[in-house]
């Protein structure tokens, strides 16, 4: 009882604070303060996630041998996945995979509202997954965590859906900025990947959160870049043709990564029993890590080794240690890592682990760029390019292609390595990679799942407004249904009692059989001699089209445009639900557009 009274008093006190804010501080002004708070909290969350991953990974791998294979790699992934599965099933009791996709879904379908448990669920689950060797990244989980922090802080102060959307973006931006110490990339991630509208109302809070998140990271970690990179070899304009070729190669590698990721997701989706996914995914992951130790965890250690020019270290801790000085074996080994990374990543998530594709795209990019330069230098073609520089360019190229975010890829790569002197080649590779994959895949690896369902909100304002609208909010149910066996007299009686001029015809099982339009029977409705002879089944007609409850608003509008109809029936697997009218859609569209565009 005492606890309940205390809780009620605290709730009442909090509501007084919220009401005082609503009376004295404008929502747009208060949003700037909340952006600062979100930046601090998300920056701390990013540091906590990194610390947990390093503690777990360090405790498990610090004693492993570099000169021979480590059999313990066959056990670690299984242990991590089992722990995470138990944590999700019995503690979280919710699906928290595909964090960035879930943030996109919350923005477009749930008015930017995320559950409280999402503020810590992904953080805990991903730290265990990655620490035990899961071949995924921490950036997707920190985006989900940061977005949930921003959403729940906004909900606590009863902010409007428009402000909640911005705060969700602030949390995601601060999470990226905090984990990479890259404030510009954090903001660009929100604009390019989460597709938050670029307006004066969004830029300032996003900047504040990004800068604050990065500042927290700088205070706690120092001013060193995330990856150590020293540009010992300058970039000359004579190398631009090879840079252009690398951009195209990165585009096709991005396409392979994206297509294979979804193919593997489809295969794991066919495994219906959740406990069967653990041995299948765990075996794939453990076997790959055993053969290719750089696939363990995020793989940032391998990236650092390549950027430092330590090529031979790529085979440390394997059976192939004796071949570390063989030029072409190193090339084949790195090529195999590039091809298998996507299998390790999808197996991690498919088995029940929690992690993102952000770090894997960086990893594959670094390997691709390094292998590209490594082969050019050793093919006796008289070509001399920098392995380190091209590894850096590859990071930006593959990330740009996989995420469809060239600007973010450029600035993130430059910010987390300090490679600003390579800005021109980074720009070339990122742009060409994006242009290449765009020919084959119109959506990023994050947005493709929602785009196929028509649930993705984009930067295009018309499409964004349609995504925010829901068909179930537009259905009109005041049209009186009639039965096929009713007589014309029954129909006239119903017309006299109705304010509508359209009537659905349904059977005893509520299946839609047709419609009756008042205009179609106006010439016979006053002929009393036909009252008993004519039935509804004789003068009803089929509607020009039917709207399914599952249809997206974009598809609904295309149906109206195609049929030139003003009213169309809505069905749910053939069962009559109601009507939707073009006028109601237009009114709702204007209302949402006005709210969405209000700066």
Mean pLDDT to the nearest integer, 6-22: 83
Residues 138 and 252 occupy one common structural domain? no
- Confidence at residue 196, expressed as pLDDT on a 0 to 100 scale: 73
Q: Which residue has the higher pLDDT, 98 or 91?
A: 91
Strands, E, within 484-533: which ranges?
502-506, 512-517
- Confidence at residue 454, expressed as pLDDT on a 0 to 100 scale: 54
* pLDDT at residue 564 tops 70: yes
Question: Domain span at residue 338?
Answer: 237-459
Tokens of 21: 């804010």
Quick check: is 518 in a domain?
Answer: yes
Residues 516 and 497 occupy one common structural domain? yes
> Closest by alpha carbon to 175, among 233, 216, 236, 124?
216
Taking the C-alpha atoms of residue 10 and residue 179, their distance in angstroms, rounded to an integer, is 34
CATH number, domain containing residue 417 = 1.10.3080.10
Q: What is the 3-state secondary structure (H, E, C) of 242-255?
A: HHHHHHHHHHHHHH
135, 348 contact by CB (below 8 A): yes
Residues 473 and 581 occupy one common structural domain? yes
Residues 552 and 448 occupy one common structural domain? no
Alpha helix (H) ranges present in 404-447?
406-417, 423-440
- Cβ count near 380 (within 10 Å): 6
Alpha helix (H) ranges present in 193-239?
200-221
- Confidence at residue 551, expressed as pLDDT on a 0 to 100 scale: 80
589, 517 contact by CB (below 8 A): no
Residues 400 and 495 occupy one common structural domain? no
Number of folded domains that form the chain: 3
Using a pLDDT cut of 70, give the percent of the chain over it.
Answer: 91
- SS3 call for 598: coil
Complete DSSP assignment for 304-362: HHHHTT-GGGGGTTSGGGGGTT-HHHHHHHHHHHHHHHHHHHHHHHHHT---BSHHHHH
- Confidence at residue 599, expressed as pLDDT on a 0 to 100 scale: 45
Among positive and negative, which fits the CA dihedral 279, 284, 285, 289? positive
Taking the C-alpha atoms of residue 478 and residue 498, their distance in angstroms, rounded to an integer, is 9
Q: Residue 375: what are its φ and ψ, rounded to 5°?
A: -70, -40
Tokens of 13: 């006190």
Taking the C-alpha atoms of residue 479 and residue 498, their distance in angstroms, rounded to an integer, is 8
Mean pLDDT to the nearest integer, 51-77: 87
Residues 244 and 379 occupy one common structural domain? yes
366, 374 contact by CB (below 8 A): no
Tokens of 154: 């906004």
- Confidence at residue 366, expressed as pLDDT on a 0 to 100 scale: 93
Question: Which of 119-123, 308-312, 530-534: highest mean pLDDT?
Answer: 119-123
Residues 282 and 348 occupy one common structural domain? yes
Residue ending a domain, among 425, 441, 459, is 459
210, 39 contact by CB (below 8 A): yes
Kindly report, residue by residue over 330-375, the tens digit of the pLDDT: 889 999 999 999 999 999 999 989 988 888 999 999 999 999 999 9
- SS3 call for 270: coil
Quick check: is 362 in a domain?
Answer: yes
Could you give the maximum distance between any two Cα atoms of the chain, in Å?
Answer: 102
Quick check: is 232 in a domain?
Answer: no
Q: Which residues of 437-456 are buried (b: 16+ CB within 10 A; e: fewer)?
A: beeebebbbbbbbbeeebeb
- Confidence at residue 463, expressed as pLDDT on a 0 to 100 scale: 55
The pTM score is: 0.78
Quick check: is 226 in a domain?
Answer: no
Q: Crossing angle, helix 461-468 and helix 99-109, to 10 degrees?
A: 80
Complete DSSP assignment for 525-588: TT-GGGTTT-BHHHH-B--S--EETT--HHHHHHHHHHHT-SEEEEEETTEEEEEEEHHHHHHH
Taking the C-alpha atoms of residue 30 and residue 18, their distance in angstroms, rounded to an integer, is 11
- SS3 call for 234: coil
Q: Which residue has the higher pLDDT, 96 or 120?
A: 120
Residue ending a domain, among 459, 475, 504, is 459
Residue ending a domain, among 459, 478, 501, is 459
Kindly report, residue by residue over 464-479, the tens digit of the pLDDT: 555 556 777 788 888 8
> Closest by alpha carbon to 134, among 148, 122, 116, 146?
122
Q: Which residues contact 178 (CB under 8 A, 6 or more apart)?
A: 42, 43, 44, 45, 46, 47, 142, 146, 186, 213, 214, 216, 217
Residues 216 and 281 occupy one common structural domain? no
CA distances from 217 to 211, 212, 229, 244 (A): 10, 9, 19, 35
Tokens of 37: 């708070």
Taking the C-alpha atoms of residue 489 and residue 515, their distance in angstroms, rounded to an integer, is 17
> Closest by alpha carbon to 504, among 564, 579, 420?
579
Q: Which residue has the higher pLDDT, 63 or 343?
A: 343
Quick check: is 228 in a domain?
Answer: no
- Confidence at residue 253, expressed as pLDDT on a 0 to 100 scale: 97
Residues 384 and 432 occupy one common structural domain? yes
Quick check: is 229 in a domain?
Answer: no
* 447-455, Cβ contacts within 8 angstroms, sequence gap of 24 or more: 447/101, 447/104, 447/193, 447/195, 447/404, 448/258, 448/262, 449/98, 449/101, 450/101, 450/104, 450/105, 450/108, 453/552, 454/551, 454/552, 454/553, 454/554, 454/555, 455/105, 455/108, 455/109, 455/552
Taking the C-alpha atoms of residue 37 and residue 109, their distance in angstroms, rounded to an integer, is 26
Quick check: is 440 in a domain?
Answer: yes
CATH number, domain containing residue 534 = 3.10.580.10
Residues 100 and 71 occupy one common structural domain? yes
Please give the span between the terminal C-alpha atoms of the chain, in angstroms, as a whole number: 46
Q: What is the 3-state secondary structure (H, E, C) of 302-317?
A: HHHHHHCCCHHHHHCC
Taking the C-alpha atoms of residue 118 and residue 149, their distance in angstroms, rounded to an integer, is 8
How high is the mean pLDDT of the chain? Answer: 85
């Amino acid at each position: 009882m005492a606890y309940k009274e205390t809780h009620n008093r605290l709730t009442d006190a909090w509501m007084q604070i919220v009401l005082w804010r609503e009376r004295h501080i404008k929502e747009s002004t208060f949003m700037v303060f909340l952006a600062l708070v979100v930046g601090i909290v998300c920056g701390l969350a990013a540091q906590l996630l990194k610390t947990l991953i390093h503690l777990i990974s360090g405790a498990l791998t610090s004693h492993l041998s570099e000169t021979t294979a480590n059999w313990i790699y066959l056990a670690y992934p299984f242990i991590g996945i089992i722990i995470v599965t138990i944590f999700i099933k019995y503690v979280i009791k919710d699906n928290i995979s595909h964090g960035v996709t879930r943030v996109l879904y919350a923005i477009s379908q749930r008015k930017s509202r995320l559950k409280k448990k999402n503020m810590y669920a992904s953080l805990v689950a991903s730290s265990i997954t990655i620490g035990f060797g899961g071949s995924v990244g921490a950036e997707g989980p920190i985006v989900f965590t940061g977005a949930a922090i921003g959403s729940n802080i906004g909900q606590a102060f009863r902010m409007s859906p428009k402000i909640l959307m911005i705060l969700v973006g602030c949390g995601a931006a601060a999470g990226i900025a905090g984990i990479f110490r890259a404030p510009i990339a954090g903001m660009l991630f929100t604009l390019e990947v989460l597709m938050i509208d670029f307006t004066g109302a969004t830029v300032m809070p996003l900047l504040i959160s990004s800068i604050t998140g990065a500042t927290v990271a700088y205070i706690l970690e120092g001013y060193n870049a995330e990856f150590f990179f020293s540009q010992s070899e300058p970039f000359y304009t004579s190398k631009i043709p090879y840079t252009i070729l690398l951009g195209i190669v990165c585009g096709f590698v991005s396409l392979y990564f994206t297509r294979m990721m979804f193919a593997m997701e489809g295969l794991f989706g066919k495994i219906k029993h959740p406990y069967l996914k653990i041995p299948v995914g765990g075996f794939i992951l453990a076997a790959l890590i055993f053969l290719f130790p750089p696939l363990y965890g995020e793989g940032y250690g391998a990236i650092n080794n390549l950027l430092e020019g330590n090529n031979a270290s790529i085979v440390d801790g394997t059976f192939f240690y004796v071949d570390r000085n063989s030029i072409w074996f190193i090339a084949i080994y790195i090529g195999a890592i590039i091809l298998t990374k996507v299998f390790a990543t999808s197996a991690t998530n498919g088995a029940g682990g929690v992690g993102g594709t952000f770090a894997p795209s960086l990893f594959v990019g670094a390997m691709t760029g390094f292998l590209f330069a490594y082969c050019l230098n050793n093919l006796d073609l008289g070509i001399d390019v920098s392995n380190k520089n091209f590894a850096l360019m590859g990071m930006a190229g593959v990330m740009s292609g996989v995420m469809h975010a060239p600007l973010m890829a450029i600035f993130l790569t430059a910010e987390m390595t300090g490679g600003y002197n390579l800005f021109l080649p980074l720009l070339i590779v990122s742009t060409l990679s994006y242009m290449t994959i765009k020919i084959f895949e119109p959506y990023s690896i994050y947005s493709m799942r929602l785009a196929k369902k028509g649930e993705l909100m984009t930067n295009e304002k018309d499409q964004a407004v349609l995504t925010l609208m829901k068909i179930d909010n537009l259905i009109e149910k005041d049209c009186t249904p009639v039965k096929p066996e009713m007589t014309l007299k029954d129909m006239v009686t119903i017309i006299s009692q109705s304010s509508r001029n359209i009537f659905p015809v349904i059977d005893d099982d509520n299946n839609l059989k047709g419609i009756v339009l008042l205009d179609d029977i106006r010439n016979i409705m006053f002929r009393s001699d036909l009252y008993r002879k004519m039935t509804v089944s004789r003068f009803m007609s089929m509607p020009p089209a039917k709207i399914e409850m599952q249809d997206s608003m974009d598809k609904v509008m295309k149906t109206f445009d195609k049929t030139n109809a003003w009213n169309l029936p809505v069905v749910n697997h053939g069962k009559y639900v109601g009507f939707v009218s073009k006028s109601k859609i237009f009114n709702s569209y204007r209302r949402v557009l006005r709210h969405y565009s209000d700066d």
